[in-house]
């Protein structure tokens, strides 16, 4: 069976309504929504730095920076996490089944977070190591908390890394904008991600790990290093990519990854352009074009939007999930 799900961000500020929508509209794989309209502490970066026990940080002049003590916005982000998990428990008491939670990845955080006297975390090898290890510890605590609240849950961890290709290519601008940070080599990128993907097993949890990015990787995604059991790789079990960002080189890499057992979260519902959302027939055709090219099986495939949906209206989001659900059924029929 071909599944479908969302990726994270939704419009509005009503968390209870957003949670209910994910359970009602995405029954295959409901997820913990992000609502960035609530404020910077509720967006991807704020939530990433706001996980319990993470490195102390503050929001200053619109930029998140590491600091000596948690700032008011980081404390608000941590409180938002606690409140969201409590509301989730109220909205879905005793839930058992698949459930996905998303966190910002270490390299996207390192590219966007400042550090005193250096510029950004990305410029300091020690700071980026500390951030990645702290993030892994905090994510482990989050997963344990969810497993405690929902004993029958089957967790999937989505790691959002929109900046990963830019970090690898040396394309992240310095704070002044005149220069670019040096590229981080692939072994270090994988090591930082591996701390995170290894954390669930270290805590005795069985968790599907998914690397998500809606950006293109110049030269093609190095999926052989990012998915699979290679101890020198990143260790993800699946990748989540925007169909519109795939290059020719990516299809061979995807086929090889799928052949080795990896999963594919395929961003086949465009999140930009008109109309919003695209119709079922168009989404089905887009998905099948990729699926047939990489020889994906039904149980490896999850259909998703290309990116987050915070810029859509609630009505558009609802229709978009309906489109994905119908397209998933038709893709499954085509693969049967």
Residue 84 lies in a domain: yes
> For residue 149, what pLDDT is reported?
97
Q: Residue-wise over 272-295: b if at least 16 C-beta within 10 A, else e?
A: eeeebbbebebbbebbbebbeebe
Residue 85 lies in a domain: yes
> For residue 140, what pLDDT is reported?
97
> For residue 38, what pLDDT is reported?
97
Q: Where are the alpha helices (DSSP H) in 113-236?
A: 125-149, 164-169, 186-202, 223-226
Full pLDDT tens readout for the chain, 336 residues: 899 999 989 999 999 999 999 999 999 899 999 999 999 999 999 999 999 777 899 999 899 999 999 999 999 999 999 999 999 999 999 999 999 999 999 999 999 999 987 789 999 999 999 999 999 999 999 999 999 999 999 999 999 999 999 999 999 999 888 899 999 999 999 999 999 999 999 999 999 999 999 999 999 999 999 999 999 999 999 999 999 999 999 999 999 999 999 999 999 999 998 899 999 999 999 999 999 999 999 999 999 999 999 999 999 999 999 999 999 999 999 998
> For residue 43, what pLDDT is reported?
95
Domain count, the chain: 1
Residue 245 lies in a domain: no
Neighbouring-strand partners of residue 4: 303
Identify the domain containing residue 79 by its residue range.
Answer: 5-9+12-213
Cβ neighbour number for residue 152 with a 10 Å cutoff = 10
Q: Name, in order, each residue with C-beta under 8 angstroms of 95's C-beta and a sequence gap of 6 or more.
A: 23, 150, 152, 153
Residue with tokens 């975390």: 121
pTM: 0.97
Residue 305 lies in a domain: no
Residue 289 lies in a domain: no
Cβ neighbour number for residue 236 with a 10 Å cutoff = 27
Residue 42 lies in a domain: yes
What whole-number distance in Å separates Cα of residue 290 and Cα of residue 301?
11
> For residue 294, what pLDDT is reported?
96
Residue 227 lies in a domain: no
What whole-number distance in Å separates Cα of residue 152 and Cα of residue 155?
9
Residue 246 lies in a domain: no
Residues 18, 317: contact at Cβ < 8 Å?
no
């Amino acid at each position: 069976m071909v599944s479908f799900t969302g990726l994270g961000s939704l419009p509005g500020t009503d968390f209870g309504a957003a949670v209910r929508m994910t359970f009602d509209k995405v029954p295959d794989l409901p997820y913990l929504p992000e609502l960035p309209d609530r404020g910077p502490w509720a967006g991807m970066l704020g939530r990433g730095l706001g996980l319990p026990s993470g490195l102390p940080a503050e929001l200053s002049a619109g930029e998140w920076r590491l600091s000596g003590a948690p700032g008011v916005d980081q404390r608000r982000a941590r409180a938002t996490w606690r409140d969201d998990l409590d509301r989730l428990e109220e909205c879905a008491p005793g839930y058992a089944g698949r459930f996905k939670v998303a966190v910002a990845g270490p390299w996207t955080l390192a590219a966007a977070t400042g550090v005193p006297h250096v510029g950004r975390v990305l410029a300091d090898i020690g700071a980026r190591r500390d951030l990645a290890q702290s993030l892994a510890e905090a994510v482990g605590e989050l997963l344990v908390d969810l497993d405690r609240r929902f004993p029958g849950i089957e967790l999937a961890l989505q790691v959002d890394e929109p900046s990963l290709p830019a970090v690898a290519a040396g394309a992240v601008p310095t704070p002044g904008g005149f220069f670019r940070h040096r590229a981080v080599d692939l072994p270090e990128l994988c090591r930082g991600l591996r701390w995170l993907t290894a954390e669930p097993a270290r805590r005795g949890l069985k968790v599907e790990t998914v690397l998500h990015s809606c950006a293109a990787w110049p030269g093609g995604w190095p999926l052989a290093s990012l998915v699979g059991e290679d101890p020198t790789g990143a260790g993800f079990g699946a990748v989540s990519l925007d169909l519109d960002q795939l290059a020719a080189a990516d299809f061979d890499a995807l086929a090889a990854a799928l052949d080795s057992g990896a999963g594919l979260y395929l961003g086949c519902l465009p999140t930009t352009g008109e109309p919003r959302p695209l119709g079922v027939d168009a989404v089905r055709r887009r998905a099948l074009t990729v699926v047939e090219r990489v020889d994906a099986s039904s149980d490896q495939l999850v259909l998703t939007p290309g990116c987050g949906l915070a810029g859509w209206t609630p009505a558009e989001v609802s229709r978009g999930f309906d489109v994905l659900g119908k397209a998933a059924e038709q893709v499954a029929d085509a693969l049967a």
